[in-house]
Amino acid sequence: MNRADRALAYLESAKNLTGSACALGGLALTFTGLAGAYWPVVVAGLYGAGALIAPPTRPPAPRFPDPTSRLDGLRKDFTTLREYLTQVDLPPAATERLDSLRELLDGLLTPGWVSEALAQDPEDIHVLVRAVHRDLPESVDTYVRTRRWTRIAPGRQDPEEQLMRQLALMHGEVEELVAGLREAEEIRQQAHTRYLEDRGAENTCGTGTVPGT
């Protein structure tokens, strides 16, 4: 901000406006003869006092994107990932496990109250970002490359077994995320039940009636 901008900002600030209002009061005292020969000191003093008591300038709070909008880009990436996975030839058991994992991810990313609840916790979003951007594509791509080398020169490890273990681990991690969201909603429901019960008890006590009578 240059000097001109700073000067303009001060002229529009609460400190200058309050000080100016107090200074006008000092001029009024001058016109009535109460300030006497020291009216410049009175006017300047009142201006300074007004500037001191004025509230400081409050910078505008930063505005960030809505939490749910952070999932929009991830949904597009997940669509790209699904298209890639449909082109990969996987064993039936791995395909079944992968389909189950994709259903979980799709349910979490579908716009609605589930994704809104998910967006409130950055750690939950990080789990999905990691699964979509790194873990899942890396597991499938590594399997495809390793399977190719195994056909040329068989190794000690079965690529399919490694893929199944990786998919199972990712599936368990996403299931834990779903369970956490479900538990949060259950706690919220229980809290509302207790609130209604407590309110009913207060109303009963207030009316002086005895339950069951």
CA distances (Å), 211 to each of 44, 99, 151, 200, 203, in order? 72, 54, 77, 10, 11
pLDDT for 213 beyond 50 = no
CA distances (Å), 34 to each of 18, 42, 48, in order? 21, 10, 19
pLDDT for 10 beyond 90 = no
CA angle, 29 then 31 then 35, to 5°: 45
- Per the prediction, the chain carries an average pLDDT of 79
For 92-150, what is each residue's pLDDT tens digit?
999 999 999 999 999 999 888 888 888 888 888 889 999 999 999 999 999 999 887 77
Best CA proximity match to 180, nearest among 99, 108, 106, 77:
108
Which tops the pLDDT comparison, 75 or 211?
Answer: 75
Backbone region of residue 112 per phi and psi (left: phi > 0; alpha: psi in -120 to 50; beta: other values): left
